[in-house]
Amino acid sequence: MTTEVKPSSRERLLEAAATLTYRDGVNVGVEALCKAAGVSKRSMYQLFESKDDLLAASLKERTASFAAALLPPADDGRSPRERILYVFEQLESQAGAPDFRGCPYLAVQIELKDQSHSASQVAHRIKAKLTAFFRAEAEQGGASDPDLLARQLILVFDGASARAGIGADTITGLIAPTVVTLLDTAGVR
């Protein structure tokens, strides 16, 4: 007989923050977060100094799963070009889900507007890591200007994610040819 381990109050708050802020935005109230987590406000404030700290912790907590859902495994035998395209294939696949709302890290940065906000800083670091991935692969693939290509790729990623997230466009069949053109122009193998 197995005993199911109930998630801690902290874990439930982190999950509620991730779910509700992704679906409803960063202005979701403390009461809604606590209700979704089944935790009192008092307990929340014992675990986190503020809702802002909860949001930042929730974003940090999701970093590994965000990266795992997008990036190819290290040393998987793919060429740098294939590794970059893999990220966009994953984005296209995720964007097809009915509950897709775009990149959670980009959304937080846009909604908060304050780049010094702790959650915005977490989001900025995660997006910088994705840009660094693009840059490293571009350099390895022989790009004429890896920095420029990485900036172009993150621009395409964020734009496609945002447009698909708000339902303004379907990125299926649109994103791959765009990325291929950038890779071809930069000379990435």
What is the predicted pLDDT for the residue at 75? 85
User: Does residue 89 surpass a pLDDT of 70?
Assistant: yes
Residues 77 and 132 in one domain: yes
Residues 158 and 146 in one domain: yes
Is the distance from CB of 17 to CB of 33 less than 8 angstroms? yes
End-to-end alpha-carbon separation of the chain, Å? 54
Residues 181 and 123 in one domain: yes
Half-sphere exposure of 135 (CA within 13 A, CB side): 9
Taking the whole predicted model, whether its pTM rises above 0.75 is answered as yes
Residues 134 and 144 in one domain: yes
User: Does residue 6 surpass a pLDDT of 90?
Assistant: no
Report if residue 89 sits inside a domain.
Answer: yes
Residues 181 and 89 in one domain: yes
DSSP string over 12-56? HHHHHHHHHHHHH-TT--HHHHHHHHT--HHHHHHH-SSHHHHHH
Cα separation of 161 and 157, whole Å? 6
What confidence tier does 145 reach under pLDDT thresholds 50, 70, 90? Answer: very high
CATH number for the domain harbouring residue 146: 1.10.357.10
Number of domains in the chain: 2
Report if residue 1 sits inside a domain.
Answer: no
Give me the domain span that covers residue 35: 9-61
For residue 167, give both structure tokens. 């339902």
What is the predicted pLDDT for the residue at 32? 97
Report if residue 3 sits inside a domain.
Answer: no
Is the distance from CB of 118 to CB of 53 less than 8 angstroms? yes
CATH number for the domain harbouring residue 40: 1.10.10.60
Report if residue 15 sits inside a domain.
Answer: yes
What confidence tier does 4 reach under pLDDT thresholds 50, 70, 90? Answer: confident
Residues 141 and 157 in one domain: yes
More confident residue, 169 or 106: 106
Compute the radius of gyration of the chain from its Cα atoms. Answer: 19
| E strand intervals along the chain | none
Residues 55 and 117 in one domain: no
Lowest mean pLDDT among 74-78, 85-89, 126-130: 74-78
**Mean per-residue pLDDT, 100-118:** 94
